[in-house]
């Protein structure tokens, strides 16, 4: 939740870039309150819970539980089931959605870092590069399914920027002449980035973004070189569908 690049190009712009900062209302949903996370943790067993069950487990009032539930329902982290028994008033039970289970699970950072180091340790460079490219393309396709490839290149980049922001990767859009440039000013995976000549994570990001946008991009500026931001700019001539 959360690799990338090949070539290094040095772009010098005669005009000062105009930047568009990407923020999205849905990104706020990712910021769980501690009390809401506590409720998710209490529901990790996968069972269905009533208000009374959760009140007893957490030692808070029913009103407090209902407020948390409403926020989590809106976020799509839990789902509600109506229970009708006899002539009495129906009751509701709640359980985690697939997304809720993911948010309530253990932090995968250590696992991701261990897997990344094992990939880099593969002795055969061809196999290592094939695996990195496969990971990059898979990640890129996940973004590409939510990007309208019939839109302009700039519109696609803006959409990708919004999705990255939703995943806690702060991005901006600047311009080099007529072309948009994706700026990432804080490395999303600092513990996985190395300063060696290979820069596997940088290459991975480059391939991922290219796959997501349906057009090749390259890393034109890099923080590892002392630049202010990592910038991804289009390379080559656009195809007819990329206009």
Residue 14: is its pLDDT beyond 90? no
Biggest distance spanned by C-alpha atoms of the chain: 76
Contact yes or no for 95/78 (Cβ under 8 A): yes
**SS3 label, residue 133:** helix
Contact 140, 151 (CB under 8 A): no
Q: Does pLDDT of 1 surpass 50?
A: no
The residues of the chain that CATH labels 3.30.1380 are: 20-28+107-242
Across the beta sheet with 217-221, the strand order is 20-21, 171-176, 179-184, 230-234, 217-221
Mean pLDDT of the chain: 82
pTM comes to: 0.65
pLDDT in tens, 24-52: 444 444 567 889 999 999 999 888 999 99
CA distance linking residue 86 with residue 200, whole number of Å: 62
Residue 12 has a pLDDT of 30
Is pLDDT above 70 for 240?
A: no
CB contact at 8 A, 242 and 214: yes
CATH of domain 20-28+107-242: 3.30.1380
What pLDDT digit, counting tens, does each position of 101-158 carry? 988 877 778 888 899 999 999 999 999 999 999 999 999 999 999 999 999 999 999 9
**According to CATH, what is the number of the domain 45-104?**
1.10.10.10
pLDDT at 230: 92
Residue intervals of the chain classified under CATH 1.10.10.10 are 45-104
């Amino acid at each position: 939740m959360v690799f990338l690049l090949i070539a290094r190009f040095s772009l010098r712009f005669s005009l000062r870039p105009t930047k568009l900062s990407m923020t999205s209302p849905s990104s706020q949903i990712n910021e769980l309150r501690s009390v809401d996370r506590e409720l998710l943790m209490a529901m990790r067993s996968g069972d269905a819970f009533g208000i009374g069950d959760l009140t007893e487990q957490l030692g808070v009032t029913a009103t407090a539980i209902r407020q948390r539930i409403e926020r989590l329902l809106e976020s799509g982290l839990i789902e509600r089931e109506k229970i009708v028994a006899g002539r009495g008033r129906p009751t509701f039970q709640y359980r985690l959605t697939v997304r809720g289970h993911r948010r309530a699970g253990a932090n995968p950072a250590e696992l991701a870092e261990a897997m990344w180091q094992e990939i880099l340790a593969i002795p055969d460079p061809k196999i290592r590069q094939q695996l990195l490219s496969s990971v990059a393309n898979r990640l890129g396709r996940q973004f590409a399914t939510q990007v309208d490839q019939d839109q302009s290149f700039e519109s696609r980049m803006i959409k990708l920027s919004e999705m990255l922001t939703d995943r806690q990767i702060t991005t901006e859009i600047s311009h080099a002449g007529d072309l948009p440039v994706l700026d990432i000013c804080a490395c999303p995976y600092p513990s996985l980035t190395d300063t060696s000549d290979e820069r596997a994570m940088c290459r991975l990001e480059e391939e991922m973004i290219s796959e997501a946008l349906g057009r090749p991009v390259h890393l034109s500026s890099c923080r590892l070189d002392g630049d202010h931001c990592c910038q991804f700019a289009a390379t080559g001539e656009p195809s007819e569908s990329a206009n």
